[in-house]
C-alpha cells in the first residue's frame, strides 16, 4: 500500500534563532499529522535551547502524530543533545505524540548508541519512512 504525502507547508515560528536548526513544516500523512524540524552541521550542547524550542513548537502544533527531526545534514551530535532528545520523547509520549529521527551519519548513530538512545530511536532513512514508521 502506497501512501502519498502532500508537500510540507511552513509553520510560522517566531523569534528565529541563528542556529543550524531549520524551519518547521507540517505534513498530513494518512490519518496523523506530522511536523518536520530540520537541522544541519554540528549539534552540541549550545544548540539545546533552540532545538528544544523548535521541537516544542512543532509538538504544540499537533493534536496527534509525530515530530520528525531531520538530521540527514548533521555531521556531529553531542551526547548531551542525544540525552535531550530522549527527554523530549518522554515528555511528548503522555500527550500521545512521538519524536522520530531521520539520519544516516555514523556520528549521529554513535551518539545514540553511547547514550542508549538507540533503543528509542530507530534509524529512518527518509521523512516519508519516519511518517509511516518504516525503519531502515
Question: Of 131, 104, 98, 101, which Cα lies nearest the Cα of 2?
Answer: 131
Q: Which residues contact 81 (CB under 8 A, 6 or more apart)?
A: 43, 44, 45, 47, 48, 51, 111
Higher pLDDT pick, 3 / 126: 126
Residue 121 has pLDDT above 90, yes or no: yes
**Over the Cα atoms of the chain, what is R_g?**
14
Q: pLDDT at position 11, please?
A: 33
- Residue 126 CB neighbours (<10 A): 15
Q: What is the mean pLDDT of the chain?
A: 83
Question: Of 23, 32, 28, which Cα lies nearest the Cα of 57?
Answer: 23
Describe the chain by its helix, strand, coil percentages, rounded to 5: 40, 30, 30
Residue 111 has pLDDT above 90, yes or no: yes
C-alpha cell at 99: 519524536
Residues in the chain: 136
Residue 57 has pLDDT above 50, yes or no: yes
Amino acid at each position: 500500500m502506497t501512501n502519498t504525502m502532500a508537500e510540507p507547508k511552513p509553520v510560522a515560528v517566531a523569534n528565529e534563532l541563528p542556529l543550524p536548526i531549520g524551519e518547521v513544516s507540517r505534513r498530513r500523512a494518512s490519518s496523523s499529522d506530522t511536523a518536520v524540524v530540520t537541522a544541519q552541521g554540528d549539534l552540541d550542547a549550545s544548540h539545546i535551547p533552540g532545538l528544544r524550542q523548535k521541537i516544542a513548537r512543532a509538538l504544540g502544533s499537533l493534536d496527534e502524530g509525530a515530530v520528525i527531526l531531520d538530521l540527514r545534514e548533521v555531521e556531529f551530535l553531542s551526547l548531551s543533545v542525544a540525552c535531550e532528545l530522549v527527554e523530549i520523547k518522554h515528555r511528548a509520549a503522555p500527550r500521545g505524540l512521538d519524536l522520530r529521527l531521520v539520519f544516516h551519519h555514523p556520528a549521529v548513530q554513535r551518539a545514540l548508541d553511547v547514550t542508549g538512545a538507540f533503543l528509542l530511536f530507530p534509524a529512518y532513512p527518509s521523512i516519508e519512512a519516519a511518517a509511516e514508521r518504516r525503519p531502515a
